[in-house]
Chains A and B, each alone.
Chain A
């Protein structure tokens, strides 16, 4: 069983700072979802939470448990790696779905699809 009160001050201060910083970044990211105007703008906001936000929280966790258990605790690194590899996939999926929708609706805000190769165009004409 671990108790937060056993943590020495030199470790408690940076742990608290990192936790608060990470939480603040995640909060700002979520606030951005509310504040920004278009879908494509909004999709940028949550990356605050999934990059530096999660990074700070994981660093705080590593510091906290490494000091309390007096051994190096590293498996938080895995969470970081998996976040970095998986969140872009979700974001790209959402962005591409929005782009497809906007192009189908003929919106002027998005760039047109790249021209298909020449032989396809000949067939269609």
Chain B
């Protein structure tokens, strides 16, 4: 079973993508979607990706809500920075943030979350001492950002990806 269904999560998401694209739930669409999903999954196996350990679906929804709220909030913040007249007092800068998480999918998710949020950008990751370099558009307090990244995102991601 493991050999044929090693990425049931990926197969399920590929199938739902297919069904959304074709916009139908007829048996024909489902069968074709399953065939495509299994084929794509077999092809991916050639790359030998690390295994996903996905737990705590509730925390994932919690995280999604937090991210959504932050994206909306920082959209207004960045829009204001762009539009406000004058405004030379703003300082942008880099912050190096020590991480505790080593799970590759967790790091990927963190990188996507940080970069997708306006005003913050994941610039670099260093594997030897497990730190990341963050660029912040409106940098006021470096310690504050270390705390935000660790408390708001990293803690939840470590619960999800172990």
Q: In the bound complex, do residue A41 and residue B72 qualify as a contact, i.e. CB atoms below 8 Å apart? A: no
Give chain B's interface residue range (CB within 8 Å of chain A): 20 to 34
Q: Please, how many angstroms separate the alpha-carbon atoms of A101 and B81 in the complex?
A: 27
Q: In the bound complex, do residue B135 and residue A40 qualify as a contact, i.e. CB atoms below 8 Å apart? A: yes
Closest to A73 in B: B23
Judged by a CB distance under 8 angstroms, whether A106 is at the interface is no
Please pick, from A78, A87, A95, A114, the residue contacting B129 in the complex, using a CB distance under 8 A: A114
Q: In the bound complex, do residue A47 and residue B116 qualify as a contact, i.e. CB atoms below 8 Å apart? A: yes
Q: Please, how many angstroms separate the alpha-carbon atoms of A51 and B96 in the complex?
A: 25
For residue B83, which residues in chain A have a CB less than 8 angstroms away from its CB?
28, 31
Q: Please, how many angstroms separate the alpha-carbon atoms of A114 and B81 in the complex?
A: 31
CB within 8 Å for A41 and B137 given contacts A52-B71, A110-B94: yes
* Interface SS of B by simple majority: mixed
Q: Which of B37-45, B55-63, B119-127 contacts A (4 or more CB under 8 A)?
A: B119-127
Q: Please, how many angstroms separate the alpha-carbon atoms of A36 and B96 in the complex?
A: 23
For residue B111, which residues in chain A have a CB less than 8 angstroms away from its CB?
88, 92
Closest to B95 in A: A111
How many residues belonging to A are interface residues under a CB distance threshold of 8 Å? 37
Please pick, from A45, A50, A99, A111, the residue contacting B82 in the complex, using a CB distance under 8 A: A45
Q: Please, how many angstroms separate the alpha-carbon atoms of A96 and B121 in the complex?
A: 11
Q: In the bound complex, do residue B82 and residue A35 qualify as a contact, i.e. CB atoms below 8 Å apart? A: yes
Q: In the bound complex, do residue B116 and residue A88 qualify as a contact, i.e. CB atoms below 8 Å apart? A: yes
For residue B128, which residues in chain A have a CB less than 8 angstroms away from its CB?
114, 116-117
For residue A32, which residues in chain B have a CB less than 8 angstroms away from its CB?
78, 81-82
CB within 8 Å of B: which residues of A? 25, 28-29, 31-32, 35-36, 38, 40-41, 43-45, 47-48, 50-52, 73-75, 77-78, 84-85, 87-88, 91-92, 95-96, 99, 110-111, 114, 116-117
CB within 8 Å of A: which residues of B? 17, 20-21, 23, 71-72, 75, 78-79, 81-83, 92, 94, 96, 111-112, 115-124, 126, 128-129, 131, 133, 135, 137
